[in-house]
Amino acid sequence: MAKIQIDTMADFSEIIHYDSPGIPLYIQRGLLSNYPDMRAVCHWHDDIELIQIISGEMNYYINGQTVLLKKDDTLLINSKEMHYGYSFCEHECEFTCILFHPSLLSANRNLFEQYVAPILDNQRLPYLWARQSEQLEITQLVRDILAKKEAQDSGYEINVIGMLYTLWASICRLKHILDDHPASTLPPDVQSLRMMVSFIHTHYKESISLEDIANSATICRSKCCSVFRQQIQQRPFDFLNNYRLQMSADLLKNTIMPITEIALECGFNNPSYYSKLFLRQYRCTPREFRKSQANTHSFFAS
């Protein structure tokens, strides 16, 4: 399965490659088993993200906090928050992923400033977790949005944008839940992780040392390893290699580049090591992966 290509802006936030050019909207379903170690890449972006569990369970990390999502749970991740999903006890998980830029809710400036901006700017709301039977309206709206996308009816994007307005109205009615939570700032370790992850996203094609990664957050190498271990349970180079593997998977599916060239393009100087690592993580060779994905469709955003 191909993942969404990840590019970065000058501030190292991601540029999302949407379903249709000019419409900042991405709607797909995905499987965690299609990711190395059954975990997506830790990332952040300006877009609002919705994750809904179709089957199975998934751990989800947001700014140093982790929640366990179960079937029918819906998670809204606010703009500019560090996040990623990963397998719970190596169990499979199928899920819906929706990303949309806040500009889709800005048709009326007064409405945007009254109902949208206060939530986007609220540091007390890095995410909103609607558990199973709670917030049934939100749960059903996410299902309906996916159904509209998969039906591919003419003008489905207009219908979806209307549903997003309805969904946002439901969220606004839940704002009272914030009253019990004190304002907070991003923990220092999460800030460091954000800078190091952004550095890796930008420089993964290059030869990167542990010192380079640590320097990007102005910390020492031991602190760098500690932040990765404590925040996302990975070593820095495991994270780097997994990211490189996911970028290589994009190229295997979406280009005809030779496998050796793909390995070099994604930062692996030794093609044999790349193939060995790919086999270990994806349980197939790069060539087998390319062949198996030849007639499938891309369906997940990182």
CATH of 7-180, one of 2.40.30.10, 2.40.420.20, 1.10.150.450, 2.60.120.280: 2.60.120.280
Q: In sequence order, which ranges of the chain are alpha helices (DSSP H)?
A: 109-111, 117-120, 136-151, 156-172, 188-203, 210-215, 221-232, 236-254, 259-265, 271-282, 286-292
Cα 13 from Cα 42, distance rounded (Å): 12
Specify the pLDDT at position 53.
96
Q: Which amino acid is at 149?
A: K
Alpha-carbon 123 to chain mean position: 20
pLDDT digits (tens, 9 = 90+) for 12-60: 445 567 888 889 999 999 999 888 788 888 888 889 999 999 999 999 9
Q: What pLDDT does residue 245 have?
A: 93
Bridge partner list, 20: 23
Query: pTM for the complete prediction?
Result: 0.74
- Break the chain down into helix, strand, coil percent, rounded to 5: 45, 20, 35
Tokens of 223: 């602190």
Dist CA 129 CA 132 (whole Å): 9
Tell me what pLDDT residue 98 has. 97
pLDDT score, position 5: 40
Q: Give the CATH fold of the 188-292 domain.
A: Arc Repressor Mutant, subunit A (1.10.10)
The pLDDT assigned to 11 comes to 43
What residues have CB less than 8 Å from 250, skipping those under 6 apart?
A: 2, 3, 5
Residues 87 and 285: their CA atoms lie apart, in Å, by: 22
Ranges of residues in the chain whose predicted pLDDT is under 70: 1-16, 133-134, 175-184, 295-302
Q: What is the pLDDT of residues 80-120, one digit of tens each?
A: 899 999 998 889 999 999 999 999 999 999 999 999 998 88
The predicted pLDDT at position 302 comes to: 40
The ranges assigned to domains in the chain are 7-180, 188-292
Beta bridge partners of 51: 75, 97
- The contacts of residue 302 (CB under 8 Å, 6+ apart) are 3, 4, 6, 14, 40, 41, 43, 84, 246
